[in-house]
């Protein structure tokens, strides 16, 4: 597992589990733990899940379902790396295509009104049927609240509607968020899509015996990412309090940045589908005509699923006007609108350069999707991550760069672009 939990954190997680016994069910027979997937392993969610599993397991049948969304399932080795000694047989796999049950819809009129007309279609609400039909006595959502490109801040009921959502929900909601605008979403406490999900939770999931455990993280004085906030509860305030702390601690206000070097960890990020968090979290900080260089020691492909990988290779990150035009005229983009939204999110709209330095993708592959290419070994020599500190650095040749070791842990923006 990627990080250990300190004694004070362990006490908080244990107390939360004890409160579940007092407030939800005193003698649970079946418990479901819903942690994030491996792309948020740096949050310590794997250790938290392990602690909670062993708390309940002596007297209950406990299962873990990583909230994969449309991401690929973990391998047994990845599960062991993230969740430790939890038996593989106790880890359930979410299938966003085949395993979901439709509960209802968020009406098109509501979506249009709350998005200011940016989206005018209904959002079907479907989630994994095991959540609904598993006869659970306690359901515990575990996650990391951090700025997010679709919902303003990650976690809370995102676990259900994206992490365990069906294809219709994920596609309709991602496209609605993309049309509203990624830079309008980033760092906003309650985005239009969050409004929709809050409505859906209230109308369709209020009967679940569930609660949320949410952590906030920040860099300490030694430059290490550590837990700084802990929130447990079953209401919207649990999310809002955590999001407000994340807004204070995880958003870095900078002047327009001419050159940014970002590293996407090789044990968590294997495709541009997830590594593009480096684009999302820095785009509001990038200067016009600046350059974002993303070093990807684990990058092997563009999409996680083959069908999405093919779409990215076919259309590329060509900018919003071009992608929307293609969406209207091509059935493959209409069918997988979450991929269409991703192509919008991942474009700089021509305002700044995006350069990838992937270990396993070729120059021809990277340039074919409208990104620039830098050789991985050359990038490691020019910008050695182990010799750079987070923030501004002056290189030996006199060049000034801005280094970010974990882009997925925050948001960087100029003051002018900060969402209040």
Q: How far is CA 391 from the centre of its chain?
A: 23
Using CA atoms of 224, 225, 231, 236 in order, give the dihedral in degrees to the nearest 10: 150
Between helix 320-329 and helix 337-345 the angle, nearest 10°, is 170
* The predicted structure's pLDDT at residue 134: 95
Nearest one of 254, 259, 319 to 290, comparing CA atoms = 259
Distance of CA 140 to the CA centre of its chain: 18
In this predicted structure, the answer to whether residue 1 has a pLDDT above a threshold of 90 is no
Beta strands in 313-410 (DSSP E): 353-358, 372-373, 391-394, 400-404
Give the whole-angstrom CA distance, residue 291 versus residue 272: 17
What confidence category does residue 6 fall into, taking pLDDT thresholds of 50, 70 and 90? low
Let me know if 266 is exposed, middle or buried by CB neighbors in 10 A (0-12, 13-18, 19+). middle
| Whole-angstrom distance, CA of residue 229 vs CA of residue 215 | 5
- Looking at the chain, which residues constitute the CATH 3.40.50.11440 domain(s)? 7-250
pLDDT at 257 over 60: yes
Helix, strand, or coil (residue 250): coil
| pLDDT at residue 4, as a whole number | 54
Phi, psi for residue 225 in degrees, rounded to 5 = -80, 120
User: Are 48 and 10 in contact, with CB atoms under 8 Å apart?
Assistant: no
CATH architecture, range 7-250: 3-Layer(aba) Sandwich (3.40)
Terminal CA-CA length for the chain: 36
**Phi, psi dihedral angles at 59 (to 5 degrees):** -125, 0
pLDDT per residue as tens digits for the range 167-182: 999 999 999 999 999 9
Average pLDDT over residues 8-15: 84
pLDDT digits (tens, 9 = 90+) for 287-313: 999 999 999 999 999 998 899 999 999
Q: 56 falls in which pLDDT band (50, 70, 90)? A: very high
pLDDT at 267: 85
Q: What is the pLDDT of residue 2?
A: 43
254-417 CATH:
3.90.226.30
Is the confidence at residue 42, as pLDDT, over 90? Answer: no
Nearest to residue 345, comparing CAs of 417, 276, 271, 251? Answer: 276
Q: Is the pLDDT of residue 136 over 70?
A: yes
- Whether 412 shows a pLDDT value over 50: the answer reads yes
Considering only 7-11, 54-58, 305-309, 380-384, which range has the smallest mean pLDDT?
A: 7-11
- Residue 26 class from Cβ within 10 Å (0-12 exposed, 13-18 middle, 19+ buried)? exposed
Band the pLDDT of 72: cuts 50, 70, 90: confident
Q: Mean of the pLDDT values across residues 62-85?
A: 95
User: Which residue reads 């006007």 in tokens?
Assistant: 321
**How buried is residue 56: exposed, middle or buried, by Cβ count under 10 Å (0-12/13-18/19+)?**
buried
- 344-400 pLDDT, tens digit per residue, is 999 999 999 999 999 999 999 999 999 999 999 999 999 999 999 999 999 999 999
Where in the chain do CATH 3.90.226.30 domains reside? 254-417
């Amino acid at each position: 597992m990627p990080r250990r939990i300190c004694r004070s954190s362990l006490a908080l997680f244990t107390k939360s589990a004890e409160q579940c016994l007092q407030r939800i069910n005193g003698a649970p027979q079946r418990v479901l733990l819903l942690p994030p997937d491996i792309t948020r392993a740096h949050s310590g969610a794997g250790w938290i899940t392990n602690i909670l599993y062993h708390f309940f397991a002596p007297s209950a049948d406990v299962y873990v379902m990583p909230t994969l969304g449309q991401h690929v399932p973990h391998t047994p080795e990845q599960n062991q790396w993230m969740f430790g000694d939890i038996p593989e047989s106790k880890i359930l796999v979410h299938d966003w295509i085949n395993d979901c049950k439709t509960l209802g819809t968020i009406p098109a009129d509501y979506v249009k009104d709350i998005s200011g007309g940016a989206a005018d279609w209904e959002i079907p609400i479907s989630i994994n049927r095991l959540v609904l039909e598993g006869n659970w006595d306690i359901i515990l959502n575990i996650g990391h609240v951090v700025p997010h490109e679709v919902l303003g801040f990650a976690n809370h009921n995102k676990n259900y509607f994206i992490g365990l959502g069906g294809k219709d929900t994920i596609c309709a909601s991602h496209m609605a968020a993309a049309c509203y605008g990624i830079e309008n979403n980033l760092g906003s406490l309650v985005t239009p899509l969050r409004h929709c999900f809050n409505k859906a939770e209230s109308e369709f999931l209020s009967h679940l015996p569930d609660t949320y455990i949410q952590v906030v993280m920040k860099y300490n004085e030694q430059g290490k990412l550590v837990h700084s906030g802990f929130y447990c509860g079953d209401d919207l305030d649990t999310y809002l309090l955590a999001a407000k702390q994340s807004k204070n601690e995880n958003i870095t206000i900078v002047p327009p940045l001419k050159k940014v070097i970002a590293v996407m960890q090789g044990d968590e990020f294997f495709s541009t589908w997830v590594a593009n968090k480096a684009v999302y979290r820095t785009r509001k900080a990038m200067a016009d005509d600046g350059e974002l260089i993303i070093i990807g020691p684990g990058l092997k492909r563009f999409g996680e699923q083959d069908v999405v990988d093919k779409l990215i290779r076919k259309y590329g990150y060509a900018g919003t006007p071009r992608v929307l035009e293609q969406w209207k005229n091509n059935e493959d983009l209409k069918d997988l609108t979450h991929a269409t939204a991703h192509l919008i999110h991942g474009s700089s709209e021509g305002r700044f350069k995006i350069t990838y330095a992937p270990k396993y993708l070729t120059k021809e592959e990277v340039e074919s999707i409208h990104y620039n290419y830098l050789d991985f070994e050359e990038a490691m020599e020019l910008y050695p991550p182990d010799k750079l500190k987070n923030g501004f650095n002056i290189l030996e040749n006199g060049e000034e760069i801005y280094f970010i070791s974990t882009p997925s842990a925050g948001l960087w923006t100029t003051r002018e672009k900060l969402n209040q």
